[in-house]
Amino acid sequence: MRAGRKATGGRYKKIKKRKLTGRQSESRIVKLADRKTKVLTGRGFSKKLVCLTDNTANVMNNGKAQKAEIKNILETPSNAFLARQNILVKGSVIETDLGKARITNRPSQEGLVQAVIILE
């Protein structure tokens, strides 16, 4: 039998090497504090702005966007512990100057916080 072949004559598949492109990136936690961002470079020199900390949000109110200060994180439906630690994630309910709002984007991926006013 030849090396690298099965008894039937079929080939064994070679194991794929580990490459830098196959790595996962570090998970980023966006906390409530003064704004701090970071620029990441990807393949082909593409650039991505990610958020590390933030205290302002672009809030949609009656079809118009306004910039508002985030005062507090009230609740996070996905995980109650995230609200206690002041971590901004998609779906979190935040208290702003304009009232209660829900975060509609992923701040760790986009570099800013987008939110929509919650009507009570």
pLDDT tens-digit profile of 61-119? Answer: 988 999 999 999 999 999 999 999 999 999 999 999 999 999 999 999 999 999 999 98
Domains and CATH numbers, the chain: 27-117 (3.10.290.70)
- CA 109/CA 54 separation, integer angstroms: 13
Confidence (pTM): 0.78
- Give the sheet arrangement for strand 36-41, strand by strand: 31-32, 47-54, 36-41
Whether the predicted pLDDT of 21 surpasses 90: no
What is the rounded radius of gyration, in angstroms, for the C-alpha atoms of the chain? 22
